[in-house]
Structure 1
């Protein structure tokens, strides 16, 4: 049983390494992987050697680790069932693990926006949300994204200005606390298909200062880049 448990743990670590590299726009330094996956350099080295040997990762001339040919073949295989929401959820899980910010996947349903997945940060907070928790449309960053990328018409000039700003920046921000939404502030980014249709909304939430928000938004956009 101990050998089985150790084997499962090794697979978990390998997947975490691959997920972290994917979240860094498909390339990362060993030191960043070690920090992001909470591994010692010596232990990480063993996994990197194995993952490179099997083609799951490769290393370029600058020493960066990239997603390898074997992994790309698996992704591009016709038998592989592509699920963009699952992929987004995995990226947001890695984002939570890396930056210690709560994250979530918001999707649109017939009854409104819902928080489909939620990953609580490791900070000392007592906020938890069940799957499919409703998300307010007019008082959330996710709602701003939905209004900006779902094709709805602006109701007034102020809303039109907001939509234009969100599209220009690529993200939306809720600066003030709102009942029913986790965290005091939240940042949301769209996940679009190749026809620019909104698939889902990535959200990170927490107690962010106004100065930190642009940097965190940039980190989130960077993490989502491999999904496009």
Structure 2
């Protein structure tokens, strides 16, 4: 027999807000949250204040409310909840903070590669990406990693030499600037689990001064990601 126990309505509402944000890539404006959760803006505001105060949410410079660091700490405390994003995201953020180059996590989806959890550098001029931005397989450093380490991929004969070099050095570089962003380049490293399977790709991007700087940043990213334990 199920016991009918009345819970705390405010907790239910707070969880509804968090679930809404989680289903919208972790960020949304107050008006969107209010509409999606069936709350008035004035009532929602009280919840947002408390969630911000506790670190469960943070507010970015564009007025979005986003899932905060406190949730990452809570996720780490759950036995067995060691998903890729939970493990890798703090490493990429720390790399951004230390090196001042933007970072992101690229994952494979049924629709292709997409970038997730992008961390913009603190430079005045840099590159911005939204979560779930498609990443081209044949025109990106992450695509080279996928072709070099992925289980299911097809490579043209001319790509074989490049793939061999990528696997030898443990990272890939896209030297050709992205269309519309002159001078911007990207570096990608594989994220390999304990079984030797490619599970995701760590990327950093920006405006590098020379080849030595590219190699320095690439080695630093490779070292940072290699320290993740599965």
User: CA offsets per residue over residues 38-66 of structure 1, 9 Å max, x none?
Assistant: xxxxxxxxxxxxxxxxxxxxxxxxxxxxx
Q: CA RMSD in A?
A: 3.0
Aligned to 2:137: 137
What residue ranges of structure 2 are gaps of 5+ in the alignment? 1-49, 56-68, 70-74
Are the equivalent residues in 2 in contact too, given 1:135–1:181 (CA < 8 A)? no
Q: TM-score, normalised by structure 2?
A: 0.63
Matches within 5 A, 1:1-150: 79-125=79-125, 127-150=127-150
Structure 2 Cα separation of the partners of residues 200 and 220 of structure 1: 14
Select the structure of larger CA radius of gyration: 2
Q: CA deviation at 1:194?
A: 1.6
Aligned to 1:36: none
Cα 1:160–1:153 change in 2 (3 A) is farther
Partner SS state of residue 121, structure 2:
coil
Q: TM-score, normalised by structure 1?
A: 0.63
Q: CA deviation at 1:178?
A: 1.7
Structure 2 Cα separation of the partners of residues 88 and 180 of structure 1: 29
Structure 2 Cα separation of the partners of residues 78 and 126 of structure 1: 36
Aligned to 1:214: 215
What residue ranges of structure 1 are gaps of 5+ in the alignment? 10-15, 17-73
Structure 1 Cα separation of the partners of residues 207 and 123 of structure 2: 11
Q: CA deviation at 1:201?
A: 0.3
Q: CA deviation at 1:206?
A: 0.5
Higher relative contact order (CA 8 A, sep 6+): 1
